[in-house]
Amino acid sequence: MKKTVIAALALALAASMSVPAVAETQETQETLETTAAAETTDTSSTFTTSDGVLSVVLPNDTWKEVEDPSKWVVLSDGDDIVTIEHYSNGEKLPEMAVADDHYVRVYQAVASTQNEVFVITGGVVDSDKIGEVANIIMSAKVLKYDTKLAVSKEDQASTSEFSVVPTDKTMYVTASGLNVRAGYSTDDQILGTLGYGESVHVTGVVQRNGADYGWYQVSYGNGTGYVSANFLSDTEPEKKDPVGPSYTGNVKTVYDENGESSTLYECTDGLWRDKAGTAYTRLSETEFQVYEGTKRVFTFNPASGGSSQDPGVVTAYDENGTAVTLYESTDGYWYDSEGTAYIRHSDTDFQVNEGNKHLTVY
């Protein structure tokens, strides 16, 4: 792609140098003078990173720095974008960028010193702007060398560049699912997920060079975690029933392994969600599992243990004498703990739905 972009820029340059001669009448002379005067008006400006490490030349004042906690530097004119990442020696570099559904053309460059690497990437919505973005990238200058030594991410986070300002307040989650991470980056490990409307104790505000970095430190489990500040609010959000994509109208009452009941709502994206917004995948007619998690819930109550006093549970035996606990469902079938459906023929006889296996109650 880079060769294509460079070739296109070269052709454009050659075309601009092949202007046919024009008779210098007074009118054309005035036109040329006006054009020349316009061309000498320089609206460009130099952008320098806050730590003075690198600079680029921006073509006009529509290009501004955009706050993005997941990137080192982001510049944009509202449509097109240039990102600058700063890596130390030993850190894994990202995959080289390619065009996607939003940015039709991408231009990328890499600069390296002894202990660091700069990856500068530009994307344009309109192919006609690729030259402008390429010029920004090619104008990059490293002003300070070897400022990011080969140290671990933990060591980098502990330097004076980042700090956590203590605070003590309760805030509320405004996203359907908010990841809690081990650090203040989307690259850090996910410790868990908070549901919509859930309250969280905020213990610190992450800052970089004295400015808010867009992340909060929160109490999580027996320790601390970090969440994006974009999805926390000082006021409790309005309850939604259910949270997330459109509700199809289907509802299931389910039970966890301790017998605690909850309600799941089927959504148009194929997932089921509880009132807190936690998403579940349906594994069978009777079993659901938290999306990207291990917790499971059932349409029957597994905590009943097959008690004879529970009319919705029976213990039956196969031909080898192996006991199987069956749970009655509202759809007319009986299910074992693995979700296999049985038809009840009599008080003592059950048969696998669409199968020949029988179970007998003694």
Can you tell me which residue has the tokens 């000082």?
234
Q: Rounded distance, CA 10 to CA 4, Å?
A: 10
Q: What is the pLDDT of residue 165?
A: 92
pLDDT reading at 243 higher than 50: no
Say which amino acid occupies 283: L
pLDDT reading at 24 higher than 50: no
Q: What is the DSSP string of 37-99?
A: HHHT----EEEE-TTSSEEEEESSTT-EE---TTSSEEEESSS-EEEEEEEETTSPPPPPP--
**pLDDT tens-digit profile of 153-186?**
444 444 447 788 999 999 998 877 788 998 888 7
- List b or e across 174-188, with b for residues whose CB sees 16 or more CB atoms inside 10 angstroms: ebbbbbbbebbeeeb
Q: What is the pLDDT of residue 19?
A: 36
Q: What is the pLDDT of residue 57?
A: 93
The pLDDT-based confidence of 266 (bands split at 50, 70, 90) is confident
Q: Rounded distance, CA 242 to CA 276, Å?
A: 8
Q: How many CB atoms lie within 10 A of CB 269?
A: 12
Q: Rounded distance, CA 156 to CA 148, Å?
A: 9
> What architecture does CATH give domain 160-233?
Roll (2.30)
Reported for 156-162, long-range contacts at CB under 8 A and 24+ positions apart, including other chains, are 156/88, 157/183, 157/184, 161/51, 161/208, 161/209, 162/206, 162/207, 162/208, 162/213
CATH of domain 42-150: 3.40.1000.10
pLDDT reading at 54 higher than 80: yes
pLDDT reading at 105 higher than 50: yes
**pLDDT tens-digit profile of 115-151?**
678 888 888 888 788 888 889 988 988 887 767 654 4
Length of the chain, in residues: 362
pLDDT reading at 312 higher than 50: yes
Q: What is the pLDDT of residue 306?
A: 39
Say which amino acid occupies 137: I
Q: What is the pLDDT of residue 309?
A: 35
Q: Taking the domains of the chain in order of start, what are their residue ranges?
A: 1-35, 42-150, 160-233, 247-299, 303-360
Q: Which residues contact 352 (CB under 8 A, 6 or more apart)?
A: 340, 341, 342, 343, 358
Of 11-15, 110-114, 277-281, where does mean pLDDT reach its minimum?
11-15
**pLDDT tens-digit profile of 65-82?**
887 767 788 898 888 889
Q: Rounded distance, CA 74 to CA 136, Å?
A: 13
For the whole model, what pTM was predicted? 0.34
Q: How many CB atoms lie within 10 A of CB 341?
A: 19
Name the H helices within the chain.
2-16, 26-39, 130-138, 153-157
Q: Are strands 73-76 and 349-352 parallel, antiparallel or unpaired?
A: unpaired
Percentage of the residues of the chain whose pLDDT score is greater than 90 = 9
The pLDDT-based confidence of 344 (bands split at 50, 70, 90) is confident
